């Protein structure tokens, strides 16, 4: 919106979706995909006699519009939008002026399409980068496995380092379960309080109320294990 009456701006912010009546300029453009101009909306029953909540009436009553022109934005034969300009006096727009707005409408469609293509390209690039990052992480783990036969700690550390980095986590723990209790086998970037013996302690036997038996639904920091 540009230089629109504040009352209409506020209305459009509250109700951004417009479903036009067939008798309005928007409705006519929707049906014909052609430019529509109304010399004086005060002579149009669809505007004058419309309920106060009707979009055409809002343009006339809230913005004080008199002469209105609506130019379609077309992608091939598909309507993707419109440009609406109006005057608060009865003074029809000339063919030259309407042609200028039509050129702007074409440029707007080009800008929309270019933005869409650029976003798709960025998404594909991000997907490729993410896939490459995951492949690299997998390769590093496999390398750790092959270079550390019989030693699990370097493998676990490599796994945790890659998992926390790719998932943008703060730190990671790897716990082994012996059928009755969990034991911390490896940690990566763990806070000092957690990394000390007092932090993770002896093997933990979780209950149904403790983590990791259930997901942490509170968010934020991870809860400590309890020996209950």
Q: Range(s) for CATH 3.30.450.340 in the chain?
A: 6-92
How far apart are the C-alpha atoms of 149 and 213, rounded to whole Å?
31
Residues in the chain: 228
Q: pLDDT averaged over consecutive 10-residue blocks of the chain (228 residues)?
A: 89 87 88 95 76 64 89 94 95 96 95 88 80 81 78 85 86 88 86 62 60 48 42
* Element at 55 (helix H, strand E): helix 55-61
What's the pLDDT at 186?
A: 87
pLDDT for 222 = 44
Which pLDDT value is given to residue 34? Answer: 96
pLDDT at 112: 92
Q: Of the candidates 161, 169, 126, which has an alpha carbon nearest to the alpha carbon of residue 143?
A: 161
Contacts of residue 1, Cβ cutoff 8 Å, sequence gap at least 6: 9, 12
* pLDDT at res. 50: 60
Three-state secondary-structure class, residue 95: helix
Q: For the domain 6-92, what is the CATH code?
A: 3.30.450.340
Q: What is the CA radius of gyration of the chain?
A: 32
Beta carbons of 61 and 47 less than 8 angstroms apart: no
């Amino acid at each position: 919106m540009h230089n629109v009456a504040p009352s209409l701006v506020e209305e459009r912010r509250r109700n951004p979706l417009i479903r036009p009546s067939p008798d309005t300029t928007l409705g006519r453009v929707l049906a014909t995909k052609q430019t529509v101009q109304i010399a004086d909306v005060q002579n149009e029953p669809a505007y004058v006699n419309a309920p106060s909540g009707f979009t055409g009436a809002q343009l006339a009553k809230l913005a004080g519009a008199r002469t209105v022109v609506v130019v379609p934005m077309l992608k091939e034969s598909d309507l993707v939008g419109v440009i609406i300009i109006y005057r608060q006096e009865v003074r029809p727009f000339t063919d030259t002026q309407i042609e200028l707005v039509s050129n702007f409408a074409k440029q707007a469609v080009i800008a929309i399409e270019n933005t869409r293509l650029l976003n798709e390209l960025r998404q594909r690039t991000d997907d490729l980068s993410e896939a490459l990052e995951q492949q690299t992480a997998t390769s590093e783990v496999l390398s750790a496995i092959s270079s550390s036969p019989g030693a699990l700690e370097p493998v676990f550390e490599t796994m945790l380092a890659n998992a926390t980095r790719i998932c943008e986590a703060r730190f990671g723990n790897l716990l082994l379960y012996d059928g009755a209790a969990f034991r911390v086998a490896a940690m990566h970037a763990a806070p000092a309080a957690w990394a000390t013996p007092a932090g993770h302690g002896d093997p933990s036997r979780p209950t149904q109320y403790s983590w990791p038996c259930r997901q942490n639904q509170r968010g934020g920091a991870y809860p400590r294990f309890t020996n209950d």
